[in-house]
Structure 1
Amino acid sequence: MEYTLLTDLEPHKKHATIQVCITRKWLFRGANDNAPLQHVDMILSDQKGNAIYAEIPANLANQKAPDIEEGRIYNISRFRVCAAKNGFKVVDGDKMIQFTFYTIVKRVIDPPTVFPKYIYRLTPFDQIESNIQTKPNFLGMFLVS
């Protein structure tokens, strides 16, 4: 089966099927961790190392999210491609994926081993301070000793 690369997704492509690794998955509740769930967020990566942000709305979270695990490979179809959010971007790009009631997610049983394990973009140390008061990117850090 032929899969669409994440870079080739467009809002008008209604019948795209992607094969992706769930690189990261988390619950978004807003500013308060005890607040109601707003959506389930994910970073998806394809075999070429492209990444895209994906979101499962709260009303579909119980139906769509429980069977999706970080580090696993899935074939996903019947989703919506739309403009990426303007603030707190976790990956570069102008598009994102929204799951719908019709989205189909199938785990790949014998996946290829070519998916990258981590997706990241390094910010040069001298540019970190200039990004603190802006919201175009979500900044995180990890330390390696």
Structure 2
Amino acid sequence: MAPTFIRDIEPFQFIEEMRARVARIWRPKKFDTDIYDGLHYVLIDERGDAIHAIIDESHYPVVTNKMEEGRVYDIFRYHSRENDFPFKVIDHEAHLSFNRMTEFKQVQDSSSSIPRYAFNLLDFSELDDKKEDQIVLIDVYGCVKSIMPESQVFVRNKEKMESKCEITLENLRREYVRITLWGDNARQFDVQAVQNRSPPILAVFTSLRITEFQQRITLSGTNHTCMIVDPQIPQRQEYRNEFSKPGDKVKILAIPFK
């Protein structure tokens, strides 16, 4: 049987075989809780199409560590489900569900015809138009110019204190957008590791919600947000050329005193 391509997958389908590269892996917690929510993947095939795949928490202990980020696998025996999340990680009508019956075989000749990354990159100029009817979480790429490290702030609609970290990202036009990470993402953001890297710090931030604060577009992290530093994408060299000045070193901002 010929392998299934991602663009041909529909919800509630049994898939016998598919070949894909693991574009990224993350282990989120359920929204606004401390409960882990399985293991999540973005997979990409040779046609450049991507899909969100999930190992449910109940299967996680026996199905974890089956795939590594960046490698290509033949994946056998699993089902698709309807992609009915309020905000989708990938713009596809289905997502994949792996369990203990799913088999993973690494392809030793990791085909170069399969792209390394799958991003839903939006230009900063497109953010305003997308904020009202956002269904798919978005990714942005740019140069990290400043970081305000994790601090505790009072969140009114939750009536509790929460961790917050702010990152400022610039594009080639020297326009900026502020990204706010919350909760675990804020606590786990490694400021020291960023400081230790040679500038410029180019990165993709994934799975963001578009919000507005004080009449300015901002981006808010979700439980699916990842920071991918210096990915090998087409615009990388142009960004490195632009952000090569001494002033482009990342600045660590003081936490406001309250």
TM-score (norm 1): 0.85
Residues 134 and 39 of structure 1: is their aligned pair in 2 closer, same or farther, counting only changes over 3 Å?
farther
* 2:181 corresponding residue in structure 1: none
Residues 20 and 143 of structure 1: is their aligned pair in 2 closer, same or farther, counting only changes over 3 Å?
same
**CA offset digits 1:27-60 (Å, max 9, x no partner):** 011245x823112111000111010000000111
* 1:86 corresponding residue in structure 2: 85
Does the CA contact (< 8 Å) of 1:56 and 1:64 recur in 2? yes
* 2:110 corresponding residue in structure 1: 111
* Residue 130 (structure 1) shift: 4.4
* Residue 15 (structure 1) shift: 4.5
**CA offset digits 1:90-118 (Å, max 9, x no partner):** 21111110112311111112232211012
Residues 73 and 84 of structure 1: is their aligned pair in 2 closer, same or farther, counting only changes over 3 Å?
same
Question: Cα RMSD (Å) of the superposition?
Answer: 2.2
Residues 59 and 142 of structure 1: is their aligned pair in 2 closer, same or farther, counting only changes over 3 Å?
same
1:1-145 to 2 correspondences below 5 Å: 2-11=2-11, 13-31=13-31, 35-132=34-131, 136-144=135-143, 145=239
Structure richer in strand, relative to its length: 2
* Residue 124 (structure 1) shift: 4.2
- Corresponding residue pairs, total: 144
Q: Output the CA distance in 1 between the equivalents of 2:105 and 2:53.
A: 16
Residues 15 and 94 of structure 1: is their aligned pair in 2 closer, same or farther, counting only changes over 3 Å?
closer
SS at match of 1:128: helix
SS at match of 1:78: strand
Q: Output the CA distance in 2 between the equivalents of 1:132 and 1:11.
A: 27
Does the CA contact (< 8 Å) of 2:19 and 2:75 recur in 1? yes
Does the CA contact (< 8 Å) of 2:12 and 2:82 recur in 1? no
Does the CA contact (< 8 Å) of 2:15 and 2:79 recur in 1? no
- Which structure has the bigger radius of gyration? 2
* Residue 11 (structure 1) shift: 4.3
Return the letter of the residue paired with 2:20.
Answer: V
- Could you list the runs of 5+ residues in structure 1 that have no partner in the other structure? none
TM-score (norm 2): 0.50
Does the CA contact (< 8 Å) of 1:7 and 1:50 recur in 2? yes
Q: Output the CA distance in 2 between the equivalents of 1:76 and 1:3.
A: 9
Return the letter of the residue paired with 1:109.
Answer: Q
Aligned residues with identical type, % of pairs: 24
Does the CA contact (< 8 Å) of 2:13 and 2:81 recur in 1? no
* Residue 134 (structure 1) shift: 5.3
Return the letter of the residue paired with 2:52.
Answer: Y
